[in-house]
Amino acid sequence: MTTKTIDDVQLAGKKVQVRVDFNVPMTPDLKVSDDKRIVESLPTITKIRSAGGAVILMSHLGRPKGKPTPEFSLRPVAQHLGTLLKTEVKFAEDCVGKAARAAVDALKPGDVLLLENLRFHAEEEKNDEAFARELASLGQVYVNDAFGTAHRAHASTEGVTRFLKPAVAGYLMRKEIDYLGRAVADPVRPYIAILGGAKISGKIDVIQNLMPKVDALVIGGGMAFTFFQAQGMEVGDSLVEQEKLALAKHLLEEAKAKRMRLILPVDCVVADRFENDAQRKVVPVTKIPSGWRGLDIGPETVKIINMELRKAKTIVWNGPMGVFEMSNFANGTMEVAKLLVEATHSGATTIVGGGDSAAAIAQAGYEKAVSHVSTGGGASLEFLEGKTLPGLAALDTK
Ligand code: AMP
């Protein structure tokens, strides 16, 4: 069963309502400061227009807490989109009610309209039925192209599909499903996952879901230290989740019993303070001095990851290898980003989960040099956990 896309439905002469993710960073004077998400929606918008449909775009921006808040208005985004499309993008002062209805009624084939922030109404996040029904009344075809919110059952992602059919995926959504879906369900082997980030707690379900599926699971970042302490090692002042020690021990035992390859760092960069200009040195993970903390993986660990990745045909990476926000502890993360680029050149499919790893790969300038960088942090994590994403499950299948 595959999800239907805009290629499967009639768009000519239709008012096509598209849930996009225009939750973009803004400057203090309310200009779009990073338009990556807007740019990524262009193929879907262009397809609808060229097929003779009119486009009704809806999105959230920031956290306006259910009431109109000028600083979270999508109006500047409409202007920015207009510049990118080289056409006028109309704007409706509200996503429902008279303003939305009048704007939609005036639409002609090829027109583009952006509705005001969905989250100016508390009903959006509550997935209120009446609100979803009203939203749905605006369009004749529903398209979801906002992977980043697909893990939330909101009125614009799930509720609306109960009242508006066909309900299909846009091109950006399709790309996410293609890459992440294949990595979860049918990966080309060897399949290696690299997980990092601060804590095990946010990644337990991913670890448990991926461990039996991958050929090797590499763990880096802060969460490695909970695994070390669980093995009785000294970790100094490194980040440890005391309440997850038993779980870490259990995961290590399970990996051993089932002969799964769980690869932990062998060396790390330790610092005497949690500051970029702290004193630092590289030590084996068995020799972390008391009073010091591990803030990055070391060069020997990078070599081991390199050896693993050279064999891999599918690689999924989620979570930084160290405190990459501080330049002196970003090396491990940047090296892994480079290794992913090399693996991509050698023919591997390389997928970077959203959130911090996406930020790291962008910081390294390699966004275009890997197979896929997911646009959804929480959503890509839930996908890798094997969970059903409500916004995706609500779409038509064929
Ligand atoms: P997460 O949201 O769980 O993916 O964690 C991302 C955060 O983990 C980033 O802000 C990193 O700075 C942080 N992080 C990575 N490695 C470490 C470490 N060794 N110690 C403390 N924080 C870390």
- Tally helices (H) and strands (E) across the chain: 14, 15
* Active site annotation includes 196: no
The answer to whether residues 231 and 347 belong to one domain is: yes
What is the Å distance from ligand 1's center to 320 Cα?
6
199 catalytic per annotation: yes
The model's pTM is 0.89
* Predicted confidence (pLDDT) per residue in 117-138, tens digit: 999 999 999 999 999 999 999 9
Cα separation, 193 vs 187, whole angstroms: 11
> Residue holding tokens 């439905």?
9
- Which of 199, 240, 323, when mutated, tests ligand 1's pocket best, judged by the most ligand atoms within 8 Å of its CB? 323
Q: Tell whether 70 and 164 lie within a shared domain.
A: yes
Q: Decide which of 140, 171, 202 is a domain's last residue.
A: 171
What's the CA-to-centroid distance between 256 and ligand 1, angstroms?
26
Nearest CA to ligand 1 atom 11: 323
Give pLDDT, residue 182. 85
Q: Which helix (H) or strand (E) covers residue 251, if one does?
A: helix 245-257
Q: Does residue 176 fall inside a structural domain?
A: no
Closest ligand 1 atom to residue 238 Cα is 20
Query: Reading across the β-sheet that carries 267-271, which strands appear in turn?
Result: 280-284, 267-271, 293-297
CATH of the domain at 32: 3.40.50.1260
What tokens appear for 341 in the block? 């680029």
Tell whether 390 is covered by a domain: no
Predicted local confidence at residue 386, as pLDDT: 86
213 catalytic per annotation? no
pLDDT of residue 375: 86
The low-confidence residues of the chain, meaning pLDDT below 50, are: none
Distance CA 33, CA 362 (A): 15
> Is the Cα dihedral 342, 345, 347, 350 positive or negative?
positive
In ligand 1, the atom with minimum distance to the C-alpha of 225 is: 19
| Domain assignment present for 391 | no
Concatenated DSSP letters of 148-209? GGTTS--TTTTGGGGTSSSEEE-HHHHHHHHHHHHHHHSPPSSEEEEE-SS-STTTHHHHHH
pLDDT of residue 385: 87
Q: Give the tokens for residue 180.
A: 């992440």
SS3 245: helix
Candidates 356, 363, 374: which one to mutate for ligand 1, based on the most atoms within 8 Å of Cβ? 356
